[in-house]
């Protein structure tokens, strides 16, 4: 197979990755290229991350210890255990070469808002002072129920500046979805927008906010951001105050940062499992900062003064990833709304007008604009664009080829894959190596990514599928799950139970002959539709409240270079799955969970497979609908029930 793109020697020499490699090679001459650099980084994680701290100009006190691997396990290892750092201080630092604009926010209806670096620092200082005046202390939680706008970033940075832990979800979540998340982390302050716009429509959130606050007794203050109206009515919201009025008394507050240990929780993200409420993944400040600096500067070649847009919501980890570009002195460009409204070329319009250097999208987006016939190479000036990142689901070979034929022949297409669990990537791009259709270029630096057989043996032969794992500690291993017991048993069970001491991520993967990787989808029962991981329990909690539905089982089906949700329902005797019932199921999920929880297909079945301990076996159904051999059928009490489930070809009809 011929590569779709090979960087020139001049382009390689100009990358930050090559500069970093040369600095390492001065002391380690065996590091002759990026492949050798990866091998060295995995073998000497302490020295590697010390160099990342220095190369990334991290502000703070590193302490005398770089890497403490007491028993050598990923779970217990710590990086810079005696450090003192503030994420916000690093994000708001004056970086040589940074442009005037820190944030550019573009709304669906065309409004363009700019915060210069001084304006961003002033806004963060004002909100931080307001939070302190409201009694917020280090360790408290500040939550955001927000669209992808500047105030969301200001809220995060202000919370971190005072030592509080930030948590967020997007405005399209329903009341139950928000309460299931924030009810566990118990924020003291909630920042929420009065509404949002999507696909030309306005969605009022004031009623939802009032209902949410009623169910969150920990919230003492609700700050409402004006998105749809200039002066939202907050009278029905307990502790409600408008954003502008909340900040006004502190408009001249000095900017101060509270430095805390590097392991202090910077934010809590939510990734759903298959039972119970969403998992509250608690991330350490220094860990995500180091990982993002490495990925941005070395893998994505982001420099001070660059302009970066990643299409995301603030309920997806890519929002957190995007905010971190500020720590490299780059401008964060935000777009809130439908990325193909009013035309399929909308993001490329922004790439041209904003002179983006990096555009980040999902594989599903690439597939949709390809099918829409968009050809930016013929209609847009993308001369500033050096990198396009794709994540969320595997990008197929056709999507790779379209990028080079229809978008830009000399762009670095970096397909990346990681997760909310680590808020970073396991495998990602390399601006110094060729790009092959359908392949992620390789593992991230210092990430000991392997493919394991079911019995825990490393698989190295190209094309052989197995479980993607990581066998060496990395900085953004979460602190744990918020609210987990003292032993962290739920956290350990989620990642380390399958292969003791090794992080098992729940993805099927295989190596390629070029040293790259292909991700084949989830190997567990967590849904990954459009790049957002969704727990089946959230779907069942809503669907099984509908009259006539006895029980449900939802699985992810690999479909059209993405994953779609297929919902199977067992109905009460005499009830049939008609159009009205399907519409009711979809409407309830959209209103009470989120639009991402709505299945692509709903199918009626007569029975649901269960294990001998009476647990629903989603894995068995997922194997059937994806055409895989069913694993561990002996664990099923009723294996004959699988005959009720449709194959991939039957579901297409």
Domain 535-651 has CATH 1.10.579.10: no
For residue 111, give every residue at least 6 positions away whose Cβ sits within 8 Å of its Cβ, in sequence order, or none: none
Distance CA 435, CA 414 (A): 8
Nearest-angstrom CA–CA distance, 624 and 294: 39
571-579 long-range contacts, CB within 8 A, separation 24+: 571/604, 572/548, 575/548, 576/604, 577/602, 577/603, 577/604
Q: Enumerate the CATH 3.40.50.980 domain ranges in the chain, comma separated.
A: 117-258
Query: Which stretches of 338-380 are assigned E, i.e. beta strand?
Result: 358-362
Q: Which CATH entry fits the domain spanning 9-92+264-522: 3.40.50.12780, 3.10.20.600, 1.10.10.10, 3.40.50.300?
A: 3.40.50.12780
First CA to last CA distance, the chain: 34
CB count, 10 Å around CB of 296? 24
The two tokens of residue 266 are 């910077």
pLDDT of 314 reads 93
Q: What is the pLDDT of residue 72?
A: 75
| pLDDT for res 646 | 67
Residues of the chain with pLDDT under 70: 272-276, 485-488, 524-526, 529-533, 535, 537, 611-615, 631-635, 637, 646-653
Q: How far apart are CA 81 and CA 246, in angstroms?
A: 37
Q: Are 423 and 479 in contact (CB under 8 A)?
A: no
Q: Confirm if 462 and 512 have CB atoms less than 8 A apart.
A: yes
- The pLDDT of residue 538 is 74
C-alpha span between 424 and 289 (Å, rounded) = 10
Domain 117-258 class, CATH top level: alpha beta
CATH 3.30.300.30 in the chain, residues?
A: 535-651
Please tell me the distance from the alpha carbon of residue 402 to that of residue 531, in angstroms, as a whole number: 20
Measure the CA–CA gap between 636 and 543, rounded to whole angstroms.
24
Question: What pLDDT sits at residue 275?
Answer: 56
Residues of the chain with CATH 3.40.50.12780: 9-92+264-522
Residue 272: what pLDDT?
Answer: 63
d(CA 368, CA 283): 33
**Cis omega before residue 342 (within 30°)?**
yes
∠ CA 555-561-566, nearest 5°, is: 20
pLDDT at 532 (0 to 100): 64
């Amino acid at each position: 197979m011929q590569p779709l793109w090979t960087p020139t020697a001049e382009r390689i020499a100009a990358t930050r990755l090559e500069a970093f490699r040369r600095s390492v090679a001065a002391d380690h001459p065996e590091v002759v290229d990026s492949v050798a650099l990866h091998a060295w980084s995995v073998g000497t994680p302490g020295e590697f991350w010390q160099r990342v701290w220095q190369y990334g100009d991290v502000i703070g006190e590193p302490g005398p210890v770089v890497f403490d691997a007491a028993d050598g396990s990923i779970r217990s290892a710590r990086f810079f255990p005696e450090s003192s750092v503030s994420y916000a201080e690093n994000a708001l630092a004056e970086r040589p070469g940074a442009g005037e604009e820190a944030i550019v926010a573009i709304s669906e209806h065309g409004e363009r808002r700019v915060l210069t670096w001084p304006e961003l620092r002033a806004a963060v200082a004002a909100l931080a002072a307001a939070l302190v005046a409201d009694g917020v202390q280090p360790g408290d939680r500040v939550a955001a129920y927000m669209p992808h706008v500047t105030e969301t970033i200001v809220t995060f940075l202000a919370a971190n500046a005072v030592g509080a832990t930030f948590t967020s979800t997007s405005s399209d979540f329903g009341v139950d979805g928000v309460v299931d998340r924030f009810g566990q982390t118990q924020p003291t302050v909630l920042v929420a927008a009065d509404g949002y716009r999507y696909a030309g429509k306005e969605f009022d959130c004031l009623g939802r906010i009032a209902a949410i606050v009623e169910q969150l007794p920990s919230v003492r203050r609700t700050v409402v951001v004006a998105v749809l109206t200039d002066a939202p009515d907050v009278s029905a919201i307990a502790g409600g105050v408008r954003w502008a009025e909340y900040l006004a008394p502190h408009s001249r507050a000095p900017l101060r940062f509270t430095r805390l240990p590097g392991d202090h929780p910077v934010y809590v993200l939510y990734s759903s499992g298959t039972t119970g409420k969403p998992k509250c993944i608690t991330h350490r400040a220094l860990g995500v900062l180091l990982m993002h600096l490495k990925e941005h500067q070395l893998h994505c070649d982001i420099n001070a003064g660059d302009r970066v847009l990643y299409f995301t919501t603030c309920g997806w980890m890519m929002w957190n990833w995007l905010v971190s570009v500020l720590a490299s002195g780059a401008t964060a460009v935000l777009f809130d709304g439908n990325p193909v409204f009013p035309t399929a070329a909308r993001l490329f319009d922004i790439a041209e007008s904003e002179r983006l250097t990096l555009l980040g999208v999902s594989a599903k987006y690439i597939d949709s604009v390809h099918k829409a016939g968009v050809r930016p190479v013929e209609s847009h000036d993308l001369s500033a664009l050096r990198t396009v990142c794709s994540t969320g689901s595997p990008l197929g070979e056709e999507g790779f080829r379209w990028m080079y034929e229809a978008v830009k022949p000399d762009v670095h297409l970096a397909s990346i894959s990681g997760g909310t669990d680590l808020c970073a990537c396991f495998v990602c791009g390399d601006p110094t190596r060729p790009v092959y259709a359908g392949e992620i270029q390789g593992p991230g630096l210092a990430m000991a990514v392997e493919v394991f057989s079911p019995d825990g043996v490393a698989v190295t032969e190209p094309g052989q599928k197995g479980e993607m794992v990581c066998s060496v500690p990395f900085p953004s291993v979460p602190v744990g799950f918020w609210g987990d017991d003292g032993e962290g048993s739920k956290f350990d069970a989620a990642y380390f139970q399958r292969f003791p001491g090794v992080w098992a991520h729940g993805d099927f993967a295989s190596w390629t002959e070029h040293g790259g990787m292909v991700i084949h989808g989830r190997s567990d029962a967590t849904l990954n539709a459009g790049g957002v991981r969704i727990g089946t329990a959230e779907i069942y909690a809503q669907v099984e409240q509908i009259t006539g539905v006895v029980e449900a089982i939802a699985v992810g089906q690999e479909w059209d270079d993405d994953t779609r949700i297929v919902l199977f329902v067992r109905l009460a005797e005499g009830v049939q799955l008609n159009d009205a019932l399907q519409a009711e199921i979809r409407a309830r999920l959209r209103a009470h969970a989120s639009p991402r929880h709505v299945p692509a297909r709903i199918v009626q079945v007569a029975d649901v497979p269960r294990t001998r301990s009476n647990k629903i076996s989603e894995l068995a159904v997922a194997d059937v609908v994806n055409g895989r051999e069913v694993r561990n059928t002996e664990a099923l009490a009723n294996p004959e029930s699988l005959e009720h489930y449709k194959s991939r070809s039957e579901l297409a009809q």
